[in-house]
């Protein structure tokens, strides 16, 4: 029975192994690759919403994409490289995919529906690395291609040299390979003897591309068999049509049969037997002669005859004893030879049983692992199918609720200039739409609106307001401009009246002056007064006016009136410059704060247009 090794990843070779077992082969599951699913970002997943055509390279591509639960345009045309990939697409998305007759990249590109793709959006769901033939040709045909890398292959844990030692112990004759990555995993770090052994095996590959890649490892083309694809049926047909020569079981070395070739002791025994026969014949002849000549024999002759008989009997008994002993020895040797032969057969049977038990244990482990992987895969498929059915169910979505949330977001943006509030409303709308299919275009527009709102830098209203409050608290500490009055001019007065009648005019003036001084005091100063002279009431009014401007700036800030704000700040700055001392520390601090406040960027009306508004209107219609 030929031993076939299946190197496909976990959960993919069980059906082929069962077919081979039913076909008279002995199949062993030995995955050399593992599949790791990747997590693409939203930029790579977004094209699925507007895709015209979606191409899946393998079943792993379908499973990896399904695990991401993306929003996908199920009205797009789906393509699969093989039948099994098409079946996986049907199980995952409920869509029938186009499959080429030749299950490879060239066969896919030869499809008539992929010839005229100029200007179409195509998403290629693939694994990391691999061939770029499909992407290259579709780009040359004018398509807008988006590569979605959803998984990657890698060798399983273990050393390839240990694998080959185990394969040799199983006497593997054929190896099934479905990817170039499996070739790399098998041929890494092999010694000369292991390379010599594995190159004598028969290889069953899924495509001509893998055959060429395997031939680069110096494997004879006569040992490479190309299947019609990677499906189980194609592989089974390829193996069935292939010619695997099985070696005959070598005969176990056995001891030679002593009856077949007589040895020297047997020949000696034959000679002894012949001598004994001759002696008996002589004895019989002598007895007959004695009977015929009884009367003629004398006593002396009788005595001589008796002595001769005794001697002949002794010689015959001795020969008989030797013959019996030799026969017993020969029987013992024959018995030992038979026991050795039986023991050799039993040892050979024990070796065969041990090898069979080892193979059974290994196959049991492989079957258990494959069964667990298959159960997990089936569970995942059932869960994905249930989710898909749930998503495809028709839900009642209230258009009025969607429109109301969109208008609320616009009101937050344009009337209140509350960018965070608008973003919160749009997030709530996106959560609502996520529960309903067919809203991918609106959700994509909402995502772009959220990105635009996140880039808007809001005005630090609270920080500016607190800074104005701090300046208003320093108003009472400001020191007014002080003036030093010049000394009063002392007029020399002549109080005494003249007794001369001719000086009556002077006497009248002096009398009037004395009368006026009794009621009115006029002081005169010789120097010029430059600074204004303010009373306590006027000083109080100046500070009240300054505080009023600062309060007006705070109110304008809260009302988001930038022009009123800057006017109030500038007016407050002019009052400080006019009425208060400039060299005082408090005045310097207040002027510095007012200068900084007058340079604030109060852009309350940043222009942000919501793309989701147009999408919601179109959807509502």
- Render pLDDT for 295-326 as a digit per residue (tens, 0 to 9): 444 556 666 667 767 766 666 666 666 666 66
Considering the entire predicted model, what is its pTM? Answer: 0.38
User: Token pair 């030799």 is at which residue?
Assistant: 326
Nearest to 33 by CA among 152, 206, 155: 155
59 burial type by CB count under 10 A (0-12 exposed, 13-18 middle, 19+ buried): buried
What pLDDT, on the 0 to 100 scale, is given for residue 204?
92
Say whether pLDDT at 383 is over 70: yes
What is d(CA 349, CA 345) in angstroms, rounded to the nearest whole number? 6
Best mean pLDDT range from 360-364, 386-390, 412-416, 420-424:
420-424
Q: pLDDT band for 393, please (50, 70, 90 cuts).
A: very low
What pLDDT, on the 0 to 100 scale, is given for residue 529?
47
Nearest to 146 by CA among 71, 37, 55: 55
* Residues 48, 12, 246: CA angle, nearest 5 degrees: 145
Instruction: Kindly state the DSSP code that residue 599 receives in the 8-state scheme.
Output: T
pLDDT in tens, 16-41: 888 888 888 888 888 988 888 898 88
Q: What percent of the chain has pLDDT over 70?
A: 79
Q: How far apart are the first and last CA of the chain?
A: 70
Say whether pLDDT at 517 is over 50: yes
Q: pLDDT band for 115, please (50, 70, 90 cuts).
A: very high
Best mean pLDDT range from 214-228, 364-378, 512-526, 605-619:
214-228
Q: What residues contact residue 23 under an 8 Å CB cut-off, 6+ apart?
A: 236, 240
pLDDT in tens, 327-337: 667 777 777 77
Question: Would you say how long the chain is, in residues?
Answer: 621
Lowest mean pLDDT among 344-353, 423-432, 507-516: 344-353
Mean pLDDT of 56-71: 89
The kind and range of the H/E element at 604 are none
What pLDDT, on the 0 to 100 scale, is given for residue 436?
78
SS3 150: strand
Instruction: Kindly state the DSSP code that residue 497 receives in the 8-state scheme.
Output: P
Say whether pLDDT at 532 is over 60: no
Say whether pLDDT at 98 is over 90: yes
Instruction: Kindly state the DSSP code that residue 483 receives in the 8-state scheme.
Output: -
Q: How many CA atoms lie within 13 A of 362 on its CB side?
A: 18
User: Token pair 């002549």 is at which residue?
Assistant: 494
| Cβ count near 596 (within 10 Å) | 12
What pLDDT, on the 0 to 100 scale, is given for residue 394?
44
What pLDDT, on the 0 to 100 scale, is given for residue 259?
34
Angle between helices 160-170 and 299-392 (to 10 degrees): 130
Mean pLDDT of 343-364: 74
Nearest to 614 by CA among 413, 429, 441: 441
| Cβ count near 158 (within 10 Å) | 11
Angle between helices 440-454 and 419-434 (to 10 degrees): 160
Q: pLDDT band for 338, please (50, 70, 90 cuts).
A: confident
Say whether pLDDT at 363 is over 50: yes
Instruction: Judge contact between 99 and 82, C-beta under 8 A.
Output: yes
What pLDDT, on the 0 to 100 scale, is given for residue 106?
87
What pLDDT, on the 0 to 100 scale, is given for residue 316?
64
Say whether pLDDT at 108 is over 80: yes
Say whether pLDDT at 283 is over 70: no
Instruction: Kindly state the DSSP code that residue 456 receives in the 8-state scheme.
Output: -
Mean pLDDT of 501-512: 80
What is d(CA 68, CA 539) in angstroms, rounded to the nearest whole number? 74
Nearest to 484 by CA among 533, 523, 524: 533
Instruction: Judge contact between 409 and 575, C-beta under 8 A.
Output: no
Say whether pLDDT at 505 is over 90: no
Q: Sheet harboring 53-56: ordered strands across?
A: 33-37, 144-155, 121-127, 53-56, 77-80
Say whether pLDDT at 110 is over 70: yes
Instruction: Kindly state the DSSP code that residue 481 receives in the 8-state scheme.
Output: P
Angle between helices 299-392 and 83-93 (to 10 degrees): 50
Computed over every residue of the chain, the mean pLDDT equals 78
Q: pLDDT band for 271, please (50, 70, 90 cuts).
A: very low
What pLDDT, on the 0 to 100 scale, is given for residue 10?
79
Encode 355-374: b = buried (16+ Cβ within 10 Å), e = exposed: eeeebeebbeebeeebeebb
What pLDDT, on the 0 to 100 scale, is given for residue 247?
38
What pLDDT, on the 0 to 100 scale, is given for residue 255?
30
Say whether pLDDT at 90 is over 90: yes
Q: Outline where 435-460 has alpha helix (H).
A: 440-454
**Residues forming beta bridges with residue 34, ordered by sequence position:** 154
Q: Are strands 144-155 and 121-127 parallel, antiparallel or unpaired?
A: parallel
Residue with the larger pLDDT of the pair 479 and 277: 479
pLDDT in tens, 157-193: 877 788 888 888 888 889 999 888 888 888 887 888 8
Classify the phi-psi angles of 172: left when phi > 0, otherwise alpha if psi is within -120 to 50, otherwise beta.
beta
Mean pLDDT of 593-619: 81
Distance of CA 21 to the CA centre of its chain: 35
């Amino acid at each position: 029975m030929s031993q076939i090794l299946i190197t496909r990843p976990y959960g993919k070779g069980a059906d082929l192994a069962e077919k081979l077992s039913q076909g008279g082969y002995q199949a062993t599951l030995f995955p050399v690759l593992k599949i790791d699913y990747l997590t693409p970002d939203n930029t790579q997943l977004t094209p699925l919403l507007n895709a015209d055509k979606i191409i899946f390279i393998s079943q792993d591509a379908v499973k990896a994409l399904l695990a991401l639960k993306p929003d996908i345009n199920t009205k797009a045309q789906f393509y699969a490289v093989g039948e099994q990939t098409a079946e996986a697409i049907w199980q995952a998305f409920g869509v029938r995919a186009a499959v080429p007759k030749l299950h490879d990249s060239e066969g896919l590109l030869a499809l008539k529906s992929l010839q005229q793709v100029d200007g179409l959006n195509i998403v290629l769901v693939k694994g990391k690395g691999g061939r770029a033939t499909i992407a290259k040709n579709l780009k040359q045909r004018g398509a807008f291609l988006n590569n979605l890398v959803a998984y990657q292959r890698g060798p399983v844990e273990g050393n390839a040299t240990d694998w080959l030692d185990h394969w040799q112990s199983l006497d593997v004759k054929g190896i099934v390979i479905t990817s170039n990555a499996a070739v790399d995993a098998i041929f890494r770090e092999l010694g000369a003897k292991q390379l010599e052994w594995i190159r004598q095996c028969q290889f069953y590959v899924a495509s001509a591309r893998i055959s060429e890649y395997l031939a680069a490892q110096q494997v004879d083309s006569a040992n490479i068999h190309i299947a019609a694809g990677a499906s189980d049926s194609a592989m089974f047909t390829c193996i069935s049509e292939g010619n695997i020569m099985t070696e005959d079981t070598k005969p176990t070395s056995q001891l030679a049969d002593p009856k077949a070739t007589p040895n020297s002791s047997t020949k000696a025994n034959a000679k002894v037997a012949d001598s004994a026969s001759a002696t008996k014949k002589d004895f019989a002849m002598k007895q007959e002669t004695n009977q015929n000549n009884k009367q003629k024999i004398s006593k002396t002759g009788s005595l001589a005859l008796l002595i001769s008989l005794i001697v002949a009997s002794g010689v015959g008994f001795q020969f008989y004893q030797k013959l019996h002993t030799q026969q017993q020895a020969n029987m013992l040797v024959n018995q030992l030879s038979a026991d050795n032969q039986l023991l050799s057969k039993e040892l050979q049977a024990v070796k065969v049983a041990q090898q069979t038990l080892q193979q059974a244990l290994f196959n049991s482990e492989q079957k258990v692992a494959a069964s667990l992987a298959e159960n997990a895969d089936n569970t995942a498929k059932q869960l994905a199918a249930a989710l898909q059915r749930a998503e495809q169910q028709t839900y009642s979505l209230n258009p009025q609720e969607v429109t109301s949330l969109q208008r609320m977001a616009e009101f937050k943006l344009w009337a209140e200039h509350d960018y965070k509030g608008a973003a919160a409303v749009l997030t709530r709308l996106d959560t609502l739409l996520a529960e309903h299919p067919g809203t991918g275009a609106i959700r994509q527009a909402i995502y772009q609106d959220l990105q635009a709102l996140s880039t808007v830098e809001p005005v630090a209203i609270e920080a500016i307001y607190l800074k104005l409050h701090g300046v208003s608290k320093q108003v009472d500490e400001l020191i007014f401009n002080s003036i030093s009055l010049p000394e009063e001019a002392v007029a020399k007065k002549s109080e005494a009246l003249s007794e001369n009648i001719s000086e009556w005019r002077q006497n009248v003036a002096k009398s009037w002056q004395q009368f006026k001084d009794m009621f009115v005091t006029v002081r005169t100063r010789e120097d010029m007064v430059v600074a204004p002279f303010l009373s306590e009431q006027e000083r109080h009014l100046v500070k009240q006016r300054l505080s009023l401007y600062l309060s007006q700036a705070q109110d304008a800030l809260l009302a988001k009136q930038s022009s009123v704000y800057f006017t109030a700040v500038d007016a407050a700055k002019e009052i400080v410059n006019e009425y208060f001392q400039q060299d005082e520390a408090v005045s310097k601090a207040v002027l510095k704060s007012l200068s900084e406040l007058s340079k604030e960027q109060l852009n309350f009306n940043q222009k942000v247009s919501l793309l989701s508004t147009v999408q919601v209107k179109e959807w509502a219609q």
